[in-house]
Amino acid sequence: MTCSSDELSSLFQVAEAVKEKGLGTCGLIFGIDYTMSNKVQGEKTFRGRSLHDISEDMKNPYQQVIEILGETLEYFDNDRVIPAFGFGDFETKDQGIFSLTEEGYCHGFREVLDTYNMVTPCVKLYRPTNFAPIIYKAINIVEETKKRELKRWCLKASGLLVDVVSQASVGDGPWGVMREFDDKLPDRLFDNFQFVEFNEVMASSMHPPAAFALSCLKEIPHQYKAIKELGYLEDL
């Protein structure tokens, strides 16, 4: 996509721009990072608060991301069913994930946000950060529904219609590993990993929510085209 972030002022305009570039439908899966790093990653970018701090005076970065991407991508999600998971907490550590809902998935991004707000105060943060379990779960969901360590699963996901948008970029950083996975995985069948630094985009744009959504989604039309050209949609 060639649109400038300043050309688009609303999430609807971002969705329309993505649609015009060829994206028809898609599904959305949220993976929430509950590792201990969230306690210190807001020192510069979130007034010293935990990135999971839930209060009435300010939305935390996770709440903002859920709202922005949820509202934008709901435009393309026909059934509005959104799986939402947490990882990196005391129970799962770096070996698994847990569902934010007791049973089933959320219906619409507003339910994802409400569930996140309810569950998060009860979650005990832990360590270390490992994205492999949530990416593997996304692959399983794709395989089951026929709708659509990190490097290994990104390489596998590139052959299974999984586009990975990293939201571990909320907070202060540094983001060396994320940039490496964004640019240096030559063995993938197509580029399916997009790194976006939330605070940098939000702080430097005239229309922050639209700019962030565009930054996250700008490669999806090219990825969708690659998926079709590789024949992955033929059996769906």
- DSSP assignment of 50-118, as one string? -TT---SS---HHHHHHHHHHHHHGGG-SS-EE-EEEESBTTTTTT-EEESSSSS-EESHHHHHHHHHH
- Rounded Cα distance between 53 and 36, Å, is 13
Selection from 69, 115, 226 nearest residue 162 by Cα: 226
Residue carrying the six token digits 């430097």: 204
Q: Which domains does the chain carry?
A: 11-224 (3.40.50)
Predicted pLDDT of residue 2: 57
Predicted pLDDT of residue 183: 52
Q: Are 163 and 192 in contact (CB under 8 A)?
A: yes
Q: How many residues does the chain have?
A: 236
pTM of structure: 0.79
Going residue by residue through the chain (236 aa), what tens digit of pLDDT does each one get?
A: 656 556 899 999 999 998 888 777 777 889 999 999 899 888 888 999 999 999 999 999 999 999 999 999 888 888 899 999 999 999 999 899 999 999 889 999 999 999 999 999 999 999 888 888 888 888 788 777 765 644 544 444 454 444 544 444 565 555 455 555 455 545 555 455 667 778 888 888 899 999 989 988 877 777 767 666 766 555 54
- Kind and range of the H or E run holding 159: none
| Residue 165 to residues 32, 50, 220, Cα–Cα distance (Å) | 12, 22, 10
Predicted pLDDT of residue 107: 95
Strand partners, 194: 165
Q: Are 181 and 188 in contact (CB under 8 A)?
A: no
